[in-house]
Amino acid sequence: DGGITQSPKYLFRKEGQNVTLSCEQNLNHDAMYWYRQDPGQGLRLIYYSQIVNDFQKGDIAEGYSVSREKKESFPLTVTSAQKNPTAFYLCASSIKRQETQYFGPGTRLLVL
């Protein structure tokens, strides 16, 4: 079953805590993306990666970090520097840049 998965579905963060959101794909896609979606809003790009061991900041990268050690995996860490992390986080992949993106089911991050 090919696809893109995200875990967990819900994540709770305490003040000052770093948390990591998982994103895995078995579509053999080179490009992967992280987006943030706030209520009633569109998607804003946090980070993207076109190839293993390379990634670029998107429009709202401050307070976030990523790694791309494997083609299949693109985890996102929400650091304590991100002061307003409550949002819906979506991971996506595409075979190459500017082509169709395939999205995971999302992770909803809440602050305790």
Report the distance separating Cα 101 and Cα 12, nearest Å.
27
- Per CB under 8 A, contacts with another protein among 44-63 are 44-45, 48, 50, 56, 58-59
Report the distance separating Cα 10 and Cα 71, nearest Å.
25
70 binds another protein (CB under 8 A): no
1 binds another protein (CB under 8 A): no
Nearest distance from C-beta of residue 70 to another protein, angstroms: 20
- Residue from 67, 72, 79, 88 touching another protein (CB under 8 A): that is 88
Say which residue the tokens 């999205």 belong to. Answer: 103
3-state secondary structure of 17: coil
- Per CB under 8 A, contacts with another protein among 5-44 are 6, 31, 33, 35, 40-44
Q: Give the end-to-end CA distance of the chain in Å, rounded to a whole number.
A: 35
